[in-house]
Amino acid sequence: MGKRWSVPVCRAALLVLVLLAPPVRHGLEATMTAQMLVQLPLLVAAGWLLSRALPPRLLAGVERWSHRGFTGLVLVTVTAAFWMLPRSLDAATSQPLIAAAKYLSVPLLIGLPFGVSWLSMGFVVRGVFLVEFVASFFRLGWLYLISPIRLCNNYALNDQQRLGGYMLAIGSGLLAWLVGKLMWGRFESFPSTPADQPISAESVEEAETTSRRASALDLAGADARARDHCRAIFA
């Protein structure tokens, strides 16, 4: 359990520290494209790594609070919508409080709940989420591309239009992948391993009961061996 907890947390912390390093941060925030398509996804990845470190009992509690991942999905959608706004990107580069809010909220309110909720989502919920995700790339990409004025004070118009073109290209690629999954595949979670399966409260209680029974059997066996040893000594 300690290793399962420590490795993802260390990786997430290392990733955030790298992103906070002044040369990396200034380089990624120098262009609108790098901030939107590189920095924010990496912060989301840090939060997703944290979700791999949550203990089973906490995951079971989250499942009761966010049935089938709906509540977590709403939290992810609202937070992501805020950070995709041009005004938010602009403020994050010039206002320290907004920048701190970005480095905290993107991993903890997008990456972490997404990593937990995705495992609990059914086929339909995953499909709706992915369709809306792709649609957001098309909407914002088209807006950034055709807007005749700068939407961010800190970024040039050509940078904004470049981001729009990249987002339309990424949206097209995601749409092709989504169509392929609908026709020839399934919406799997991440690579399926026993540790990645949704954990219910019943399974946690069953595991604890099994552990207590095993401990009781071990104690009974040790007690019996001790009695036999004493008999052998005093026989």
Query: What is 11-45 written as a DSSP string?
Result: HHHHHHHHHHSHHHHHHHHSSHHHIIIIIHHHHHH
Neighbours of 78 (CB within 10 A): 11
pLDDT number for residue 138:
95
Q: Are residues 34 and 92 in the same domain?
A: yes
Q: Are residues 180 and 206 in the same domain?
A: no
Q: Are residues 184 and 145 in the same domain?
A: yes
Q: Are residues 33 and 91 in the same domain?
A: yes
Question: Would you give per-residue pLDDT tens digits along the chain (235 residues)?
Answer: 455 567 888 889 999 999 999 999 999 999 999 999 999 999 999 999 988 888 777 777 777 777 777 888 888 989 998 998 888 988 999 899 999 999 999 999 999 989 888 878 877 888 888 888 999 999 999 999 999 999 888 899 999 999 999 999 999 999 998 888 778 765 554 444 444 444 444 554 555 555 555 555 555 555 555 555 445 544 5
pLDDT number for residue 120:
80
Q: Are residues 143 and 211 in the same domain?
A: no
User: Could you tell me if residue 144 is inside a domain?
Assistant: yes
Give every CB contact of residue 3 below 8 A, 6+ residues apart in sequence. Answer: none
Cα separation, 33 vs 159, whole angstroms? 7
Q: Are residues 183 and 204 in the same domain?
A: no
User: Could you tell me if residue 217 is inside a domain?
Assistant: yes
Q: Are residues 103 and 63 in the same domain?
A: yes
Can you give the pTM of this predicted structure?
Answer: 0.74
Q: Are residues 231 and 142 in the same domain?
A: no
Q: Are residues 156 and 204 in the same domain?
A: no
Q: Are residues 28 and 68 in the same domain?
A: yes
pLDDT number for residue 192:
43
Structural domain containing residue 185: 2-190
User: Could you tell me if residue 118 is inside a domain?
Assistant: yes
User: Could you tell me if residue 195 is inside a domain?
Assistant: no
Q: Are residues 148 and 216 in the same domain?
A: no
If one counts the domains in the chain, the total is: 2
